[in-house]
Amino acid sequence: MSCNLNGSVPSTFANLTKLIYIDLFANSLTGSLSSTSFEGLSDLTHLNLRSNSFSGDIPQSLYALPSLLLLYLGDNQFTGTFQLDSLQSLANNLTNLDLSNNNLSVDVGSGNSSSYGRLTLKQLYLALCNLSEFPYLIKFMDLEELILSKNRIASEIPSWIWGTRLDTLYLSSNLVTGLQKPYHIPASIRIIDLGSNQLKGELELSIPPESTLLSLSLNNNSLSGSIPTFLSNVTNIDHLVLSDNKLSGAIESAKSAQIRVTKTSLSAIPVGLLENIGVIDLKQNNIIGNIPDIISMECTLRYLELSNNNLEGKIPKSLERCESLAFMNVGYNNIDDTFPCMLSSTLSVLGLCSNRFYGDVSCHKSWSRLRVLDISSNNFGGSLESMNFSSWSGMMMENVSDSY
C-alpha cells in the first residue's frame, strides 16, 4: 500500500488462487476492474482498493468470493448503481464494506428481506453514495461503525439505527430533521456526527451516564434554546462542536463541574467542559454573559472557539492553567479586557478581533509556536516595540538563506 503504483490491476491476479490478502490502498491505479480480475480467489479474505482512481462498474464477480471479510472500494471513481441486495450473494462472513466517495448510486433495496439477517456486517461506509433514505438492511444487523455522510437523507433518524454496540455514527451533510422516538443510544457509542443537517429546536440526546462518548458534532443546524443539558451526563467527551446554530443563554458560573438544572440555569453549559475536554467550538451562536474564571489545574483544553457570540467581561485568568491550549478565538464579541498575556506559550492561533480590548499590546512571554495573531478592531494602543517578536519563532521562515 501507498507505493505510488500506477496502471491497472493485472488480470493475472486470478491465477493466484491461494491469495488471501490484497492491499493496494493509496496508489495511483486507474482503469476499470475486469470481471475476471479476482474470479476464482476462493481464499481471499481482504481486498483493499481504497484511495485510487479506479472507474467503471464494480464487477459482479466480487460478490461471489466465498471467504471475503473486508471489501474497501472507497475514494475512487466507480460509477453505476450498487444494489445492496447483492450483498446477499456474498458469503455470510463479510464484516467490512466501504463504498464511500465514488460516483456511485446505492440502491438500498427491499426492507423486508429475511436474508439480511444472515449478514454479519460490522462496518458500513456509504458516504457520498446518493442515498435518499436509510438502508433497510441496518435493521437486521448490529453494526459497530456506520458512515452515511454527504447524502440526501431527508427524514428522522430511525430508532433501529442505534443497535446495541454502535461505536461510530457519521450522518453529517444530509437533510436529517430529528430522531425517531423512542430510541436507545448504546453505552458503546464514541462518536456522533450530526453536523450540517436540518435539526431544529432544543435537542435532547439520551446519552447513557456510563457512555464512552468522546466526540459530538451538532454544528451547522438550526438548534435553538438552551445549550443541551444532557452534556452534564457526559464525562469522557473530548471533542464538542455546537457551532453555527441559534443556541442562547450563558456559560454557567457555578463552581461545580456539573450543570445545575434549575429554573434559572436551563440555558447553562457545564463549566467542567471548559477544562475537561480538549476541543470546544461554540462559534456563531447567541451565547451571552462572561466566560467563568474557575478553570482548575486539571485543564486539558487545546482548542477554544467562541467567536461571533455576545460574550462580555474578561478573559479568565485561570485559562493560564490550560497548558496545552494551542487555539483560542474570541473574536466578534463584547469582551472588555487588556491583552491576555497569561495564556499558554503553546498557543499557535490567537484571535481577539472586534471586541473592546484596550491598553498596550505588551507581552514578554515566549510564544515560540504562535503563527496567527488577530487583534484588529479593538482599542489597543502603545508601541509595538513592547512585544517580544523575536521569540515568535513560529512566524519565522526556516532556512531563510535557502529561500533566496
Domain limits, the chain: 199-404
Residue 89: pLDDT above 90?
A: no
Residue 403 has pLDDT above 70, yes or no: no
pLDDT for 395 = 83
In this predicted structure, the answer to whether residue 399 has a pLDDT above a threshold of 60 is: no
Average pLDDT over residues 271-290: 83
SS3 15: helix
pLDDT digits (tens, 9 = 90+) for 18-76: 899 999 999 999 999 988 888 889 999 999 999 999 999 998 888 888 899 999 999 99
Classified by CATH at the fold level, domain 199-404 comes out as: 3.80.10
Specify the 3-state DSSP secondary structure of 156. strand
Q: Is 181 exposed, middle or buried (0-12, 13-18, 19+ CB in 10 A)?
A: exposed
Q: Lowest mean pLDDT: which of 146-155, 201-210, 216-225?
A: 201-210
The pairs formed by 212-217 with CB atoms below 8 angstroms and a separation of 24 or more are 212/187, 212/188, 212/236, 213/189, 213/237, 214/190, 214/238, 214/239, 215/190, 215/191, 215/239, 215/240, 216/192, 216/240, 216/241, 217/172, 217/192, 217/193, 217/241
Are 330 and 315 contacting, i.e. CB atoms less than 8 angstroms apart? yes
* pLDDT score of 263 more than 70: no
What is the C-alpha separation between 202 and 222, in angstroms, rounded?
Answer: 9
The pLDDT of residue 302 is above 90: yes
Rounded Cα–Cα distance for residues 240 and 325 (Å): 15
